[in-house]
Each structure stands twice: as C-alpha cells, then as structure tokens.
C-alpha cells in the first residue's frame, strides 16, 4: 500500500503540472512530454499519458501481475496567465535538476494554482487600452485615433471581464466586444469626429483575436495530436465567428442609421516603417503585460515584435503576398524567441504568442465584412486571406523553433510522441538515480 500511495503522489503531481500547463495555452505535445518527464524522473517508467483538450489521464503499471494505478483530471478553467506558465516551467526545471524534492514541488504547484494574478485589475485594463492604441499606431492613426482606440480597448476588456463573471459562453463575449467596437466607430462617424473610425474597429478586432489558441492548435496538428488540435481550432473558429457576428451587427446598425463606417476598398492600413515598428513594439509589449508575463521579458518581446513587423512591412512593400510575408516574419519570431526565452528564463510560448499579435489579420477581417456588407462576394476571398495569414503566423513561428531548438537524443527516446520543438517544458530529462 505504501508503494501504491507513493505512485499516486507522483502521478498526482504530474497531473497537476499538466493541468496548469494545458489551461494556460501549452500544446498537448509539450504537456505530454513534461508530464512524462516528471513521472520518469521520479521513478515511474513507461507511464501512459493521455491528453485531450479537457482531460488529462496518467496510468502506470509496475508489473504484469500488479494493478494499474490511473488518475484523471479535468481542465475546466482556461485563462492566459504567463506568470503561472513560467512559474510551473521553473518548478519542473528545478525538480528535474534535483534542486527540490517531489513534496516541495507539489507545494509549489499548489501555491501557483491557488494564488491570484500578480497584477492589479486596473493595470490590466490600462494595458488593454495601450494594446488598442499600439494597433492604431501600427495602422497609421493620429493622436486622436490612438486615444479613442485606447478607450475602446479598455472598455472591451471591462465588458468581457464582467461577462465572464456572469459565466456566459466566450462566444457571446466576443460578439459583444465586436459590436462595442463598431458602435464606437458609428458614434464617431455620426458626430463627424475627424478621425478614421475603421482603425478603431480594426484595432479592436486584433485585440479580440489576441490570446486565441492559434499556436497551440497548429502545434498540436503538426505533432500528431489531432483530436486536441481539432478542439483548439474549433474554439478559435467560434471565437473568431463571434467577432465577425458582432462587427457585422454593428455595421448593420450603422447602415440602418445612415452611418457608413465600412473600410475604404484598397486601403492598405499600414503606416511608414518607423511607425509600424513602434506600434508593433507597443502592441506586443502591452499584450505581454496584460497576459501577466514576467516584467523582465516585456521589453525584449517589444523589440522582437518591432523586428518582425519591420520585416513584414519591408516584404509587403516589395509586393510579397501578405500570408508569405507573415510567414517569414513568424519564422524570425520563432528563431529569435528560442534565445530570448533562454536568456530571460521564460518558456518560448510566452515570447511567441505576444510577438505575433501585431501581425494578426484584423484588417483582412474588417475588409471582408465591409465588402460583404455591400454584397460583394470578394469579401469571402478576404476572409480566406485572413485565415491564410493566421495559419502562416502559427506555422512559421513553429518552423522557427524547429530550426532553433536542438532535439537531443535523450528527449527523442523519452518523448516518442513529440514530433516538434518544445514551447514549454524542459528540453532534456534525466532519470533519477536510485
């Protein structure tokens, strides 16, 4: 019974680590490999790990004649908190380096799971407003547009937070956010404020897209976790559909009132190179702050986002397709993020997720809805372009990690299901010596 109890404690620790990783956006491959590494290091060989979008299961059988010990946990709460993700990753690294014991690791994991967010709510609201202003700057808005986009971004964050407290499905929060953004634009146009209201809507769309599971979905698909990938993709599609419904409803309301806030056909939406790089830096840095990333990595994220946005701008100015340009910029992010994450001791996922935010296809979505509002079927092509850009961003970032991240022989032997780079968790695991 003592041996069974010992195995249960090891499996429980691995499960709780996996739960925290999965609920904060880690890919199924990373979760599986990390749980396997922890169990293997603590003496449980050939542990069976099963990860889906909502359930984690660990099973171990010490011998043919011994009963199977199996534990399961369900992931019921999802919220992007890179502070928790980083803290759990650090605990795993210390455990595998034998710097802490299993019981100490369990205590740390319990503390991380039970503690609140490290930043005040008003700071997150202000950071969301700064994210909206950064996108507006990226798109060439003047000071008036930046202020209005900041107010809209803060209001959207407050609205979604209150709707989450009401336990409404996230789809309705996305609809409300999209409608609120378009309502801002309608009011501005109705009051004849001398600003471009479409920039406010586009900035809000990118804010609503931020934090969605693009990276995790593509990583799961590329690494063979197709069930989890389908679930993540469905979640992303539902969230994006909510934005489309909300913005379309706002456009319809504006049209009914005789107020036109549709995007002018042919508008590029990009400013000059210095403004694009500064806007991307502000957008990525403020998003990293609102996602509770450690403060030490916010400035490096901003610099990397500026580099990637500059590359994207230069490519598009030379008639390179937007999806291809986004893919190249994402490869740069993936390459550099591996080293940035190592220097500042955070998982690469923290860096990658924030840096691709300025490149999200908010403009393509708004252009598509504007065209569809005029019964122009070419709006469907714009939606396809948006999907292509999102796919290129995710796949490009992971390709960059493939090139940058060495896959050690020990990792390949231990983590046979891992076919791609690690965005969370240790690159190498050591078995505990008895």
> Over the stretch 295-328, which tens digit does the pLDDT of each residue have?
999 999 999 999 999 999 999 888 888 899 999 9
> What distances in angstroms separate CA 167 from CA 41, 366, 412, one per listed residue?
39, 28, 42
> What distances in angstroms separate CA 248 from CA 210, 373, 396, 410, 426, one per listed residue?
19, 8, 30, 52, 44
> Could you give the CA distance from residue 14 to residue 37 in angstroms, rounded to a whole number?
9
pLDDT of 433: 40
Q: Higher pLDDT residue, 172 or 26?
A: 172
The pLDDT > 90 percentage for the chain reads: 37
β pairing state of 55-60 and 69-74: antiparallel
pTM given for the model = 0.86
pLDDT value at 252 more than 90: no
CA angle 121, 212, 357 (to 5 degrees): 80
> Could you give the CA distance from residue 417 to residue 419 in angstroms, rounded to a whole number?
6
| All residues at 6 or more sequence positions from 288 whose CB lies less than 8 Å from its CB, including other chains | 82, 297, 298, 301, 302, 350, 354
Range name among 59-68, 93-102, 119-128 with the lowest pLDDT average: 59-68
Q: 72, 19 in Cβ contact below 8 A?
A: no
Range name among 103-112, 165-174, 190-199, 391-400 with the lowest pLDDT average: 190-199
pLDDT average, residue stretch 251-264: 76
β-bridge partners, 60: 69
pLDDT value at 190 more than 90: no
Largest CA distance in the chain: 79
What average pLDDT does the chain have? Answer: 84
pLDDT value at 237 more than 50: yes
pLDDT of 187: 87
pLDDT of 158: 94
Domain extent listing, the chain: 2-117, 121-404
Q: Give 368-402 as a DSSP string.
A: HHHHHHTT-THHHHHHHHHHHHHHHHHHHHHHHHH
Identify the DSSP state of 262. P
β-sheet with 69-74: strand ranges across:
48-51, 55-60, 69-74
pLDDT value at 264 more than 60: no
CA angle 243, 249, 134 (to 5 degrees): 45
pLDDT tens per residue, range 266-303? 444 566 888 999 999 999 999 999 999 999 999 999 99
> Residue 420 — very low, low, confident or very high, per pLDDT cuts 50/70/90?
low
């Amino acid at each position: 019974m003592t041996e069974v109890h010992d195995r249960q404690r090891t499996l429980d620790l691995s499960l709780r680590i996996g739960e925290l990783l999965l609920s904060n956006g880690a890919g199924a491959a990373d979760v599986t490999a990390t749980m396997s590494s922890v169990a293997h290091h603590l003496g449980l060989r050939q542990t069976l790990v099963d990860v889906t979008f909502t359930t984690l299961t660990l099973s171990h059988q010490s011998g043919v004649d011994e009963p199977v010990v199996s534990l399961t946990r369900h992931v019921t709460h999802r919220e992007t908190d890179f502070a928790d993700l980083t803290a759990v990753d650090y605990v795993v690294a210390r455990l595998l380096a034998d710097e802490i014991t299993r019981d100490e690791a369990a205590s740390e994991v319990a503390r991380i799971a039970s503690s609140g967010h490290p930043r005040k709510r008003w700071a997150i609201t202000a950071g969301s407003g700064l994210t909206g202003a950064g996108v507006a700057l990226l798109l060439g808005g003047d000071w008036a547009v930046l202020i209005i986009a900041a107010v809209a971004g803060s209001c959207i964050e407050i609205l979604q937070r209150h709707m989450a407290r009401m336990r409404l499905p996230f789809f309705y929060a996305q609809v409300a956010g999209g409608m609120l953004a378009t309502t801002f634009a309608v009011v501005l146009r109705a009051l004849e404020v001398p600003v471009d209201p479409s920039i406010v809507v586009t900035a809000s769309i990118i804010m609503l897209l931020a934090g969605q599971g693009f990276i995790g979905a593509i990583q799961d698909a590329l690494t063979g976790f197709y069930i989890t990938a389908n679930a993540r993709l469905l979640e992303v599609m539902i969230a994006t559909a909510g934005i489309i419904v909300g913005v379309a409803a706002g456009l319809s309301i504006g049209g009914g009132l005789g107020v036109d806030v549709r995007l002018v056909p042919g508008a590029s939406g990009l400013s000059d190179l210095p403004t694009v790089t500064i806007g991307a830096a502000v957008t990525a840095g403020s998003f990293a702050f609102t996602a509770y990333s450690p403060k030490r990595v916010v400035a490096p994220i901003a610099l990397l986002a500026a580099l990637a946005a500059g590359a994207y701008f230069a490519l598009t100015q030379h008639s390179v397709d937007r999806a291809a340009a986004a893919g190249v910029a994402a490869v740069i992010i993936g390459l550099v993020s591996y080293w940035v994450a190592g220097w500042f001791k955070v998982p690469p996922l923290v860096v990658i997720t924030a840096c691709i935010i300025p490149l999200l296809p908010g403009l393509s979505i708004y252009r598509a809805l504007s065209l569809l509002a005029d019964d122009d079927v070419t709006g469907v092509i714009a939606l396809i372009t948006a999907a292509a850009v999102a796919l290129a961003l995710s796949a490009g970032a992971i390709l960059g990690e493939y090139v940058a991240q060495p896959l050690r022989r020990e990792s390949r032997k231990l983590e046979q299901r891992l076919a791609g780079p690690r965005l969370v968790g240790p690159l190498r695991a050591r078995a505990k010596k008895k």
